[in-house]
Each structure stands twice: as C-alpha cells, then as structure tokens.
A and B are shown apart, each in its own frame.
Chain A
C-alpha cells in the first residue's frame, strides 16, 4: 500500500500487538498531502464564492435563474441573500479577489489531481464499475432499515462517497474551465464555444457554484454525523477507533446483512479457516476469527476476552486473504461512514 509510504510515521508493529486487549487503535486514513490540500482548498473556495457573488450581483437587472420560456421558477442566489450579506456594489474588489485567488484555487486543484494520480490514491476515490448499483443498494438498504438487501462491501469510502468525491473534483475542473471561458471569451473563444457560448458558460459556472454549496451542506452534515474521530482524521491523518471495530474491519469490509453463509471459506493453501456463525449482534467476540494462528489454524470459537488477549500476537491477516463472514459491527460500519 502506498499509503504506508506516504506517511512513514506509521508504526510497523503488528496492528494489535500492544498489551491492552481493549482500548483503541488509530488507522491511517488521509495522507499529509491530502490534508493540506483539503484545508487549503476550503478557504480558497470560500473566497472564490464570496468574491464571485460580488461579481454576480454587479448586474442586478439580469439575474440568472431557472425556468422555461416566460415561466420563471427561481433565481440563483436570490436578492434577500445578496442584501443580507451586503454583497452589492463591490464589483471592483470582487473581481480583484476572484482573479487573484482563482490561480491559487486552480493550482491547488492541479496539485491535488497530480497527487491523486502519482500516489495511486485515486483508486480509493473513483467509483468502481458497479457504483450506480452500489448506490442503489445503499439507498434501498438504508430506506428499509436493513430489511431489504445487503450493503455492498466498501473500502475507505462507500460508493456514494466515491461518486460525490469524484464529482466534486470534476466540478472543480468544470468551474475553472468555465471560469476561463468567461474570463477570456475572445482569446479562448474555442473553449467558450465548447461550453455553448458566453451566456451558457456563465450559467454553468454559477450552477457549478450552487453544486459546491450543496456539496458543502451535505458534506458538513455527514461529517457531523460521522463523529469526532472521523473529523479529526482529516487533521491528524489517522482515525481512532475501538480495537473491536478495527478487527471487525479486518475481518470483512462489508457489513453483511445475512451472515456467515453468504461467504464460504477461501482459506489460503497453508491455512485453514473455520467459520463462525454470525450472531445477530455480530459485533461481539467473534470478530477475531480472522486471526490465523501461526500454525495455520483459526479458532472458530466465540472468543472470550482472555482468548482475545491471547490471540493478539497472531493477528496478521495473511495477504492471501482470509476473510471472515462475520457481520461487521455497527461500530465498524459507523467508522467507515464519513463526509
């Protein structure tokens, strides 16, 4: 994993080798580069939207709205918003900030794109082939409170997150390109024409901004919902979770709704894994069934606290990939959901 090479400060001890059987463990989540670029982007995008609105409201006679023909549904950024924030009559400064910080926003975005590509981090972000189906499954599962279907297995991000995080990067590219198209519509007329002309490029620019604001609201709600440890991981790079949750995650990345029988053993040649029946609670002691013993046997017993402790030195999952079919704990599930 390149994650390890990106942030070399990680401990190379076996994950659960510290003395205490209980307690918490922190797992690498966001590289230093990602964290910096994320937090640099936040004020930059805020400045871009703030200065952009000063430009937008320079022309109060022609608000860009949504409607068909004479039917006018709504204006983007309505007047009351404008008045409340005191953004009128600030065009010169709006332009000055927008056209200066636009470069910083662009360079940060380009740096992030290059970083994702060079580091291989993009693999965590781009939606897989079944992303749409996955999103549908999450939707159905959540709407029926888990009564229908199963949740698709997820890595660092679930399908919906992958779709939205990839979309937000694409929107960043779109907002820069439409920005250039309206900044230099004569010199870059080919670009402007590609967006359907000046007025159309402008509208796309504004709609993308609305998209950013919408993303921000949802992102903020999700981050609040996912809790402090997840938020802190965007600052520290590591996400703290209970060891129980961590083991559950190693056992399987998927909270399987219908238990053990959906996955049968795929033991590595040298080792045998036996399966535990998934209990309803599933977040209990059986999560350590993945811990292969050096001799290649895994206990399928429900582990007591002591057994758990005793097994801690055998926790390394073989790269050949034993998995447990145990239902992941709610905690593990929760830990993976973030904004």
Chain B
C-alpha cells in the first residue's frame, strides 16, 4: 500500500521531532569548532597539493606520481592473465591505421629491407641471433583483427599479420631457459626509439612481431620491415622498425617513460 500524504507527513514530522537539536549558543560553539577544523583540513589539502607538485621529478613527473604509476603496475601485474585475450573483430571492420609517430624513423625515411637484420641479444648482452625478414617470415604466421589503442585516447580496429612473440622466443629457449627473462628491451636501428616490456606481456598469445598490416606488407611509416603489435599495450610500446631485441633481466630505457608516461602502459 502506498503511503498517503498524511501518513507520510506524519512520518516525517516524527523524524523531525526525533532529530537532535542544539540551542543557538551551542550551535555557535560548534560552528566555530567546525570552521577551525574545516579550515585546517582545507589548508592541509592545499599543502598536500603543493607538496605533490614540488616533489623532485622522476622521469619528468613529480616522484610521488611516479610512485603512483609503480603502485598501479604492482597492483595490475599479478592480475595480468596470460590466456585472457583481447576481443577480436571481424576483418571487414578493420582499416589502415593512421600514422601517429615517427620517432626512430626520421633519420632515414626508408631503409633497405634486404640489408636489414634483426639483432637478438641475450641477458649478458651477447648476440644470440641474427635474422633477415625472410627468416622471420618462415616462422608460423598468424593474423587477427584487434583494436589498437593510443595513449592519447583514440582507438582503431586493425588487422595485423606476423609471428607471435612467444613462437619467436621459442627459438632461443636454449639460451634463455624455460622461464625466459624478466624484460624484453627493443630498439630501432638508429637507437632513437626504444621500449622495454615485461615478459608476461611479451608472452601474451596476441603479442606479435608483425610484418603485415591489413594483409599488405608494412609500409615504412607503419614500421617496415618488422614491428611489435599487441593489444595488451598502448601504441607507444608497439615499436616500429625493430633493430634490436634484447632479452634481459634489467628494465631497459623507455622512450615515453622518460617523457613522463607510465612505463607499464598496460591495457
């Protein structure tokens, strides 16, 4: 039964009668106290805000914010599920990705793909492999359509073709042992662009070394001859024109981390 207005009014009046009250004098005391406490809290808030802004910078952001990035990384790393796939899309939904960055590609607009070699290094820095594009293309090819996401916010459905990184790393199981390494550090041939990525993300079944975009060989602006493509990281980690892959137990330098971004950049 719905309550009538009368019943409702009575109920509210009872509530009002049962509500504690203060005399005006008591209220004044309380008011003074509240203003003091509130004012102190507001000042503490302002001081805290200034404190954050004035921390020494760690890789281009106040250190406390870098700590927050690391907290988030520590929180999400154990939650990363190796077998949990990003949604895939129908091929018809995908199209050519816009070119959004040319770091590491500027020195030479085009390189000689036949002369290009992928330099692979082990944990102690020694070369453990060298591959031509044909060598890489001889590995089992996969293709899927996923949403590519930029840290700037935009996303684009795109089809990549290549070899999963885990299949590639399998070639070096003898060098690396079953557990692999903690990080994989990747550089462009000119060393102008570089990323480092956690092992779990590299081993994700949708992380690949790609040589095809939309079924066509990569063009230079998109990272020919070989680039990283993965739906578990933002585009800033998906390095174009890979020159060196270093399996390492040390976190290598990261281009965008040093410019204030989160190293983990996970999705």
> Are A28 and B5 neighbours in the complex by a CB distance under 8 Å?
no
| B32–chain A nearest beta-carbon distance, Å | 9
Q: B72 contacts which chain A residues (CB < 8 A)?
A: 99
A-B contact count (CB 8 A): 206
B155 interface contact, C-beta 8 A: yes
Contact with B along A235-263 (1 / 0, CB 8 A): 11110100000100111111010000011
B8 interface contact, C-beta 8 A: yes
> Are A11 and B23 neighbours in the complex by a CB distance under 8 Å?
yes
A294 interface contact, C-beta 8 A: no
Q: A24 contacts which chain B residues (CB < 8 A)?
A: 24, 27
B14 interface contact, C-beta 8 A: yes
Q: B262 contacts which chain A residues (CB < 8 A)?
A: 95-96, 99
A303 interface contact, C-beta 8 A: no
B18 interface contact, C-beta 8 A: yes
> Are A10 and B80 neighbours in the complex by a CB distance under 8 Å?
no
> Are A253 and B27 neighbours in the complex by a CB distance under 8 Å?
no
| Contact residue among B13, B21, B64, B267 (Cβ-Cβ distance under 8 Å from A184) | B267
The chain B residue with its CB closest to the CB of A192 is B87
B17 interface contact, C-beta 8 A: yes
> Are A11 and B6 neighbours in the complex by a CB distance under 8 Å?
no
Q: What total of chain B residues lie within 8 Å of the partner, measured CB to CB?
A: 64
> Are A4 and B20 neighbours in the complex by a CB distance under 8 Å?
yes
**For the complex, what is the distance from the CA of A252 to the CA of B150, rounded to whole Å?**
59
Task: Identify the 4 closest CB pairs spanning chains A and B, nearest first.
Answer: A10-B20, A253-B12, A92-B260, A100-B68
Q: A3 contacts which chain B residues (CB < 8 A)?
A: 18-20
Q: A1-B19, A236-B27 are in contact. Are A251 and B13 (CB under 8 A)?
A: yes
| A226–chain B nearest beta-carbon distance, Å | 17
Task: Please give 6 more A-B residue pairs, beta carbons under 8 A apart, in addition to A11-B21, A184-B76, A317-B13.
Answer: A58-B152, A100-B68, A152-B8, A185-B86, A185-B267, A254-B12
> Are B6 and A262 neighbours in the complex by a CB distance under 8 Å?
yes
**For the complex, what is the distance from the CA of A18 to the CA of B27, rounded to whole Å?**
13
